[in-house]
Amino acid sequence: MNNQADYSMVLGYRDAGRYDEGLAWLSDRLNHHPKDVRALTLQAHLLMLVRKDTEAAEALARAQALEPESADVLRNLARLFLKQRQAAQALQYAQAACLVQPDSSENQLVYATCLAASGQLGQALPLVEQICAANPEYAEAWASRAQLLANSGCLNEAISAAQRAVTIKPHLVAAWVLLATAQHRNGRLQEAIKALINAVHYEPNVISHQVALGEYLRQVGDTEGALKLLAQVVQQAPADAIGWANYGTALQTAGQPEQAEQAYRNALKINPALAEVANNLGALARDRENWQQALAYFQQATQLQPENPAFLINLGISFHKGGMLGEAEQAAQKVLQRHPDHFRAIRLLGDVALARRQFDQAEICFHRSVTLQPNDPDAALNMALLQQSKGDLGAALASYQQAIRLQCAQYRAGIVARPKEFMDVGVAHRALLAFHAAMEKLGVGFFLAYGTLLGIVRDGDLLPHDKDMDVGLGWDVPRRPLLKALERLGFVCPRVEYSSDQDLEWNIALTHLETGICIDLFFFKQDGESLLSGFNHLPVPLLWRFPAFKLQHHSYLEQKWLIPSPPENYLEAIYGAEWRIPDPYFDSVISGKNRTEESAAVALCFAYNRLFERLRRREWSKASGYCRQIMAQRHDGFVLELGHWIASRAAEAAGGNA
């Protein structure tokens, strides 16, 4: 080779995307001429293009030592500092390169890129426009134009510029990625996927392209394809946090929450700064109704992104569910300071007011929420809950029906809700044993009741499809002193601070802090030859009437437990003569054989509420079961029509899984 080399061949390799051949040519050149600055800077640029930045820095250091004022050296130092996200230093080197060689389009383009990275978009874009006009076949300039236009929100123009770049230079992967991002932001998911497939084709070993492609596949509904791709990604690159995060999202979409949680934990272990992952873990805990764990994750997410409204709302809802109403109100107000019409924040304020039994304030918030989002089923549901709490049961039923109509309409629009999870029986054992130990320490007697008793007596263990546990206590047990004592032993009643004595009269929902499992305390009241038990409600409580019973011991989990004696009489009273035959659709609230006549209207509201939740979660068989139970109580044209609609959806789901 001559001392004065002809670099047209290596430049051709570079422009054709044949980087390995170009590097081989340069390596041979530098073996013979180790002080060739032009060769060193070209080598550094190609090494950066193949993502070998450490080796590129070494080559540049050698070149800089030889010719520190070379435009080639200065330009590539600017590129290297850009890749290292050191925009200020990159800009200094780019400016210096332009001073040495002001007519170089390559220098000008790097300078414009550095201006944009430094936040000077207004200066960068006109300069790139000039470069494109003067060099219409300069693909990198068109790619830069696409980036700047996308940053300015001009997505259609950005897409056109990126398409021009990949037409000129099909192997320019950065342009394919830009095109995919702009198409995605513009709602053209299929086009975004095509662009990413091209990026993967040209750079099959770059994990970030596959990670993004997996997420896009999930978003278009190809969950199977996303899972397959992302499973390969985390196997090939187990230290890629975003890969684990996207894999977790795909698993969550596929209805595999336990695997999703593990994937999210892996992502957060690798990169604790991933706020979205912490938020997703909070959502999984929320779905399990483990509000303590959900709160911890949502707090982590908001610490990382304190102004994110979605994270703040999730945090506020967790505070609300945990009885920390002041904190919930603060989270909602923080959102409203920046987004005064944020309907979810307004709805959360309504939830707080409802929990405080400030019905007028709750109604103001819920009405505003409905006005802002008239097609939101949760807004209608809130109105139903408010009306039910006030004892206006007729209005509540009408609002429940509206919420159900809107939920069905969302199904038609293809909006998918998260799946519901039931309590882990093994975890529930720990909670129940902890409650047993606490009550034994306090010297307060209790007995197993309702579904908890049914599962243990009939099946030998807790019901697998249950979501809480039920125990009974005597009517004369003081409510507030018991709750205070249990708080010291690892249990909490979230809303006791805002509850009146009447609110605590019949039923108290208790949460075991360690597991997040809920235990319902039911207080049984003597009424002649009967015992009454049920839920607090206005204008009348929802009650069941049992024949008076004594208690006997029963062995379970290596402990002695009190249960009604004989348990068969208690179970038959509420579940009927067929109580030994499992019926996963039976709900004692609506179908309990011994429910009092005065409770019928209240029970119907509860049934509509639970029907709504099953529809939200697309539990078609459960929803159909509620329709049948309601129809068994009264003829309801709305429910009859809804039952036919649910049957059609169930058939579609069965066909899709065939």
- Higher-scoring residue by pLDDT: 410, 38: 38
The rounded distance, in Å, linking the Cα atoms of 278 and 271 is 11
| pLDDT for position 2 | 42
The DSSP letter of residue 595 is B
Report yes or no on 445 lying in a domain.
yes
CA distances from 507 to 495, 496, 510, 532 (A): 12, 12, 10, 12
- Higher-scoring residue by pLDDT: 219, 502: 219
Question: Which tens digit of pLDDT belongs to each residue from 65-87?
Answer: 999 999 999 999 999 999 999 99
Report yes or no on 565 lying in a domain.
yes
| pLDDT for position 658 | 40
Tell me the residue type at 197. Answer: I
Other Cβ atoms within 10 Å of 509 Cβ, number:
14
* Coil vs helix vs strand at 103: coil
The rounded distance, in Å, linking the Cα atoms of 543 and 506 is 9
| Main-chain phi, psi angles of 335, to 5 degrees | -65, -45
Mean pLDDT of 110-121: 92
**CATH number of the domain encompassing residue 582:** 3.30.460.40
Strand residue runs (E) in 452-517: 469-474, 491-492, 507-512
**CA-based nearest residue to 503, from 446, 551, 541:** 541
Question: Which tens digit of pLDDT belongs to each residue from 547-567?
Answer: 999 999 999 999 999 999 999
Report yes or no on 412 lying in a domain.
no
| pLDDT for position 8 | 87
CA distances from 565 to 447, 492, 534, 581, 655 (A): 11, 30, 19, 20, 47
The rounded distance, in Å, linking the Cα atoms of 511 and 483 is 11
pLDDT band at 497 (very low <50, low <70, confident <90, very high): low
**CA-based nearest residue to 66, from 90, 33, 28:** 33
Least confident of 48-52, 58-62, 160-164, 212-216: 48-52
Report yes or no on 71 lying in a domain.
no
| pLDDT for position 570 | 98
| pLDDT for position 4 | 55
**CA-based nearest residue to 301, from 276, 322, 318:** 276
| Main-chain phi, psi angles of 561, to 5 degrees | -125, 145
Report yes or no on 30 lying in a domain.
no
Report yes or no on 87 lying in a domain.
no
Question: Which tens digit of pLDDT belongs to each residue from 604-626?
Answer: 999 999 999 999 888 899 999 99
Tokens read off for 227: 């899972």
Share of the chain above pLDDT 90, in %: 83
**CA-based nearest residue to 230, from 276, 264, 280, 281:** 264
| pLDDT for position 513 | 85
The rounded distance, in Å, linking the Cα atoms of 608 and 399 is 10
Whether residue 192 is predicted with pLDDT greater than 70 in this model: the reply is yes
pLDDT band at 316 (very low <50, low <70, confident <90, very high): very high
Whether residue 415 is predicted with pLDDT greater than 80 in this model: the reply is no
- Print the domain residue range for 471: 425-586
Peptide bond into 238 cis (omega under 30): no
Whether residue 423 is predicted with pLDDT greater than 80 in this model: the reply is no
Tell me the residue type at 638. Answer: F
How many domains are there within the chain? Answer: 1
| pLDDT for position 656 | 55
Other Cβ atoms within 10 Å of 193 Cβ, number:
20
The DSSP letter of residue 460 is S
Report yes or no on 76 lying in a domain.
no
Question: Which tens digit of pLDDT belongs to each residue from 18-40?
Answer: 889 999 999 999 999 999 999 99
Terminal alpha carbon distance of the chain:
68
Report yes or no on 225 lying in a domain.
no
* Residue that the structure tokens 């809700």 belong to: 417
